């Protein structure tokens, strides 16, 4: 009976789960941030490509 009471009071597993959830949340935030940066860089490089094409073809200011 004492063993069951000790098992019920043990919070070590709960702490590990909390750390796992926290690590998962941090991973999601990092992935989202990196994806957003990638999309923005793609937009910037497209703009640069467009402006360079204009300059090469003589359409630039």
- Give 32-49 pLDDT, tens digit per residue: 999 999 999 999 999 999
Reported in sequence order, the residue ranges of the chain that DSSP labels E, i.e. its strands, are: none
Q: Binning pLDDT at 50, 70 and 90, where does residue 15 land?
A: confident
Report CA-CA distances (Å) from 22 to 18, 25, 26, 33. 6, 5, 6, 17
What's the pLDDT score for residue 1? 80
Specify whether the CB–CB gap between 48 and 54 falls below 8 A.
Answer: no
Structure tokens at 35: 């994806």
- Distance in angstroms (rounded) separating the CA atoms of residues 43 and 50: 11
Task: Give the whole-angstrom CA distance, residue 16 versus residue 1.
Answer: 25
Number of domains forming the structure of the chain? 1
Claim: this prediction has a pTM higher than 0.85: no
Residue 26 belongs to domain spanning? 1-57
């Amino acid at each position: 009976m004492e063993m069951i009471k000790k098992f019920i009071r043990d919070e070590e597993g709960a702490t590990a789960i909390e750390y796992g959830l926290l690590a998962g949340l941090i991973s999601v935030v990092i992935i989202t941030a990196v994806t957003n940066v990638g999309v923005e860089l793609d937009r910037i490089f497209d703009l640069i490509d467009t402006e360079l094409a204009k300059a090469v073809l003589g359409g630039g200011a």
